Amino acid sequence: MKFAPLRGLRARPLWQLTRARVVEFLREPEALFWVFIFPVLLAVALGVAFRNQPPAPVPVG
């Protein structure tokens, strides 16, 4: 039994759909901002805002 050609036919639509979604995502600059830049800016802002506070102890158990 040979299953390799059938497997290749099933993988191609998935690859095309994935590629289309990635290209669509990269064409929207606001999406790139909210996914990559905003979380970094938020982490930096919160780190600066709370840098003088020691970490609170977390009770376990």
Give one DSSP letter per residue of 8-48, joined into a string: HHHHHHHHHHHHHHHHHHHT-HHHHIIIIIHHHHHHHHHHH
Q: How confident is the model at residue 11 (pLDDT cuts 50, 70, 90)?
A: confident
Q: What is the pLDDT of residues 12-59, one digit of tens each?
A: 899 999 999 999 999 999 999 999 999 999 999 999 998 898 888 999
Whole-model pTM above 0.85? no
CA distance 61 to 57: 13
Which residues, other chains included, contact 31 with Cβ-Cβ below 8 Å and sequence gap of 6+?
25
Torsional sign, CA 18, 22, 27, 30: positive
